[in-house]
Amino acid sequence: MTTRIRSFVVLVTAALLQATIFTEFRFLGASVEVLLLVTILAGYHGGPEHGSIFGFFASLLQDVLTGAPFGLHAMVYAPLAVGVSSLEDRLVESRPVIYGLGLALAISIGTALAGFTGLLFGQTAITSSLLINRSILAGITSALVAAPINKIILWSLSLSTPGALELRIPGK
pLDDT average, residue stretch 61-78? 83
Residue from 35, 33, 50, 19 nearest 156 by CA: 50
User: What is the secondary structure of 42-99 as a DSSP string?
Assistant: HHHHHHHHHHHHHHHHHHHHHHHHHTPPTTTTHHHHHHHHHHHHHHHTT-TT--HHHH
Domain boundaries, the chain: 3-156
Query: Which amino acid type is present at position 125?
Result: A
pLDDT average, residue stretch 34-49? 86
For residue 126, the model assigns a pLDDT of 74
CATH 1.10.1760, domain 3-156, yes or no? yes
* Contact status, residue 85 vs residue 47, Cβ threshold 8 Å: yes
| 27/21 Cα distance (integer angstroms) | 13
| 166/140 Cα distance (integer angstroms) | 44
Query: Over the stretch 85-133, which tens digit does the pLDDT of each residue have?
Result: 887 666 666 677 778 888 888 888 888 888 888 877 777 767 778 778 8
Is residue 146 over pLDDT 80?
yes
Residue 162: C-alpha distances to residues 141, 157, 158, 165 (Å):
33, 11, 9, 8
Residue 78 main-chain phi, psi, to 5 deg: -65, -45
Residue 154: C-alpha distances to residues 44, 96, 138, 147 (Å):
10, 16, 23, 11
Question: What pTM did the predictor assign?
Answer: 0.80
What residues form DSSP beta bridges with 27? 30
- Beta-carbon count within 10 A of 144 CB: 12
* Contact status, residue 134 vs residue 107, Cβ threshold 8 Å: no
| 102/49 Cα distance (integer angstroms) | 20
